[in-house]
Amino acid sequence: MSTTVRVPSQLRELTSGAAEVAVSGATVREALVDLDAHHPGFNERLFDGDGKLRRFVNVFVGDEDLRFLDGLDTQLAEGTTISIVPAIAGG
């Protein structure tokens, strides 16, 4: 299952500057594991010590926030885009 991950500018040092990278995995969790395998460093930036997404990291699957879906267990369809977005914006 191939998925595109959109990477915010703050994390592009981990992807040699790329704004999008391809990963594989059936769920968001698997996709993010694969992301860290190919671009080491994502894990500690995205997750806290308990393995939960950090408080101010938002992850979207297509247009929807993970928290409205099945969280990290959300299934991925072929060609889906995952976006990592800093939560602190707006208002």
Partner 1 sequence: MANVTLLRCRECGREFEPVAAHVCDFCFGPLEVTYDYDAVAARVSRESIAAGPASLWRYRDLLPVDDVSPVDLGAGWTPLVKADRLGAHLGLENLWIKNDTVNPTGSFKDRVVSVALTKARQLGFKVAACASTGNLANAVAAHAARAGMDSVVLIPSSLERAKITMTSVYGGTVVAVEGTYDDVNRLCAELASELPSWAFVNVNVRAYYSEGSKTLAFETAEQLGWQVPDHVVVPIASGSQLTKIKKGFTELERVGLVDDASGLRISGAQALGCSPVAAAFAANADEVLPVKPHTIAKSLAIGNPADGYYALRAIRETGGGCAAVSDAQVLEGIKLLARTEGIFAETAGGVTIASLAQLVEDGTIRPEERVVAMVTGHGLKTVEALDGAVQTPIGIAPTIDAFRDALGDRDDVAATRTGAPR
The site for partner 1 (CB under 8 A) is made up of 6, 8-10, 19, 45, 54-58, 60, 63, 65, 67-68, 83, 85-91
The smaller minimum CB distance to partner 1, of residues 23 and 84, is found at 84
Q: Give least dist CB 57 to partner 1, A.
A: 5
Judge residue 25's burial from the number of C-beta atoms within 10 Å of its C-beta, 0-12 exposed, 13-18 middle, 19 or more buried: middle
Q: Tell the smallest beta-carbon distance from residue 41 to partner 1 (Å).
A: 10
CA 90/CA 61 separation, integer angstroms = 20
